[in-house]
Amino acid sequence: MARIEKLMEYETAGDPMTGLKWSRKTLRSIAQVLCLSGIQVSPNTVGRLLREMDYSLRVNRKMIASTSAPDRNEQMLHIAKLRKRFTRTGNPIVSVDTKKKELVGQFKNAGVTWSKSPLLVNDHDFRSTALGMAIPYGIYDPTANHGAVFVGMSHDTPEFAVESISRWWCAEGSRQYPEAQKLLILADGGGSNGPTCRLWKERIQADLCDRYGISVTVSHYPTGASKWNPVEHRLFSEISKKWAGRPLDSYSTILNYIRRTTTAQGLTVTACLIRKNYSTGIKVTDEQMKQLRIVKHATLPRWNYTLSPAKNVN
């Protein structure tokens, strides 16, 4: 079982809402790899073990856009190589993304829960009747099996995303990895941490590289491949299951559910409310971009790049 878990580490995707997991490897290919490593096992036995590990069979769904990235497989292999390299050298890896925004109030929340009587909620989900909007930005450390969620109250912006990562590094990351000089960030291909967002890169330079003196490598998942991002099926899906069927009636309720999210595999999660109001529409000029100490990778440079601290940073 442990050998299969190790083999599936970079081959797993999952639904952040339902918790379903699946693999891009076939049962036969998994069995062949195990046989090469000295473990004789049949495809049927592999299937039984995967079911015990909560993997599911998947059917075809019409979800692939006509603009699907042609370099998807190459990028997935590159991400796997980066993860192995950073793991081997003891440098930290984090998977990041913004979870689905949630209305705060007595609103219906998908799922079911044990109760003597049904929980009464509003008959309509009007934004005007909400106490506010919760924007959970997740940071998942696959090495430590630990998640940190920063719940914003205003806008999902690159500034909010990078400040969340910076807060995590200051409070947890630098203590977990005191000797680390490099950080690998796995991010989606769009949103507040997208590869084309100038402010995302400018804030990484200022709030992470220059402030803490670390080099940051960013690798983005291709379009349509966000469910392979570990934060989705290792952190967000568990949070969704924790509060399923329960109204998110206050920010305190949201934070408590996140903090109480655990798994049998040892997942722990911290949570923090960010009250800061983040402005939208901030522009980064060409001159500011020229000041970045950024090096694009030879492999798919639009998705892979490394930012280094400024020379005058102590």
198 and 247 in a single domain? The answer is: yes
55 and 142 in a single domain? The answer is: no
**What number of other Cβ atoms are within 10 A of residue 308's Cβ?**
19
Q: What is the identity of the amino acid at 245?
A: G
The span from the CA of 24 to the CA of 137, in Å, is 27
Q: Which of 78, 74, 68, 11 is nearest to 230 (CA)?
A: 11
pLDDT at 51 over 90: no
108 inside domain? yes
The pLDDT of residue 117: 64
154 and 210 in a single domain? The answer is: yes
181 and 243 in a single domain? The answer is: yes
231 and 287 in a single domain? The answer is: yes
54 and 76 in a single domain? The answer is: no
Computed over every residue of the chain, the mean pLDDT equals: 87
64 inside domain? no
| Helices and strands in the chain: count of H runs, count of E runs | 12, 11
314 inside domain? no
Q: What is the identity of the amino acid at 139?
A: I
312 inside domain? no
Does residue 40 contact residue 60 with C-beta atoms inside 8 Å? no
This prediction has a pTM of: 0.79
Q: What is the domain extent for residue 168?
A: 71-307
pLDDT at 26 over 60: yes
The span from the CA of 195 to the CA of 303, in Å, is 6
For 2-28, b/e burial (b = at least 16 CB within 10 A) is eebeebbebebbbbbbebbbbbebebe
The span from the CA of 4 to the CA of 19, in Å, is 19
Residue 87: which CATH number? 3.30.420.10
55 and 105 in a single domain? The answer is: no
The pLDDT of residue 121: 75
The confidence band for 177, taking pLDDT boundaries of 50, 70 and 90, is very high
Structure confidence by residue, pLDDT tens digits, 195-231: 999 999 999 999 999 999 999 999 999 988 888 999 9
